[in-house]
Amino acid sequence: MTQYLEAPQGRRIAYERVEGQGPGVVFLGGFRSDMQGTKALWLEEWARARGRAFLRLDYSGHGQSSGAFEDGGIGDWLADARAAIGALTEGPQVLVGSSMGGWIGLLLARAMPERLAGLVTVAAAPDFTERGYWAGFSAAERAALIEHGRVEQPSDYGDPYVITRRLIEDGRDHLVLDQPLALPFPVRFLQGTADADVPASWALDLLAHAAGQDMRLVLVKGADHRFSTPDCLALIGAAVEEVLARAG
């Protein structure tokens, strides 16, 4: 059943929670996705079957949470996730971050490492506002963004994405690949080679950049950005199992 958390910033965050043993698992969704997606629902069933505590949530401007998507930025969605973990979970958690959720997970690792038992990312997209959108904009698009505060980008997932100047500027305040990134717990990165949104080279960059003693990258030939086939979902479950086992 969907419940709501009144976050300190005044935003109303929708979430669903399963009670169970710890360390719990927290699913962090992607850019303009919500907690009703295939991976989130599959992981909830996975957790229920094992008696494992589980939490999924909608960032503000996403799904059933308050606010408009165009008003948000990485810092807002990080604050939403941090507030939810702080208020709704106990003890260390294994974060499972999909796409932008991978970036949020890395930021949480930097902000509250004591609350992380481990991290699994699926097509992680750290710094995508800069490395993806800004780097890919034409001179005309950059000028329009600065002048009008927004540009529209086509999407394979429905309506065009509105990219705001605030999103780009706020993203620059939350980059993780431009400074040391310590991940002192078990980490598993999962990435498809046929991902049209997040290049496989980004996963290699992240693996090379992050510092940690228990870190692995799994490349799945032919898997796309959704990473939601039965085999891919099983890989996510196996990665979470492995992280939980190695977290002790």
pLDDT tens digit sequence for 170-225: 999 999 999 999 999 999 999 999 999 999 999 999 999 999 999 999 999 999 99
For the chain, domain boundaries = 3-127+179-247
Q: What is the DSSP string of the chain?
A: --EEEE-TTS-EEEEEEE--EEEEEEEE--TT--TTSHHHHHHHHHHHHHTEEEEEE--TTSTTSSS-GGG--HHHHHHHHHHHHHHH--S-EEEEEETHHHHHHHHHHHH-GGGEEEEEEES--TTHIIIIIIHH--HHHHHHHHHHSEEEE--TTSSPEEEEHHHHHHHHTT-STTS--B--S-EEEEEETT-SSS-HHHHHHHHHH-B-SSEEEEEETT--TT--SHHHHHHHHHHHHHHHHHH-
* φ and ψ at residue 176, rounded to 5 degrees: -120, -15
pLDDT score for 7: 85
Tell me how far apart the alpha carbons of residues 114 and 7 are, in angstroms, rounded to a whole number: 21
Please give the pLDDT value at position 155: 74
The rounded mean pLDDT for the chain is 95
Q: Residue 156: is its pLDDT beyond 80?
A: no
Which pLDDT does position 204 carry in this prediction? 98
- Per-residue pLDDT, 206: 98
Question: pTM score, two decimals?
Answer: 0.96
Q: Which residue has the tokens 């069933």?
A: 45
Of the chain, the end-to-end C-alpha distance in Å amounts to 30
In angstroms, rounded to a whole number, what is the distance separating the alpha carbons of residues 21 and 18? 10
Q: pLDDT tens for residues 90-148?
A: 999 999 999 999 999 999 999 999 999 999 999 999 999 999 999 999 999 999 999 99
Distance CA 140, CA 148 (A): 12
- Which pLDDT tens digit goes with each residue over 60-91? 999 999 999 999 999 999 999 999 999 999 99
Amino acid residing at 40? A
Per-residue model confidence (pLDDT) at position 248: 67
User: Which pLDDT score is estimated for 174?
Assistant: 98
Measuring CA to CA, how many Å separate 172 from each of 126, 140, 203? 11, 20, 20
Q: Is residue 52 very low, low, confident or very high in pLDDT (cuts 50, 70, 90)?
A: very high
Domain 3-127+179-247, architecture per CATH: 3-Layer(aba) Sandwich (3.40)
The pLDDT value given to residue 30 = 96
Is 90 exceeded by the pLDDT of residue 161?
A: no
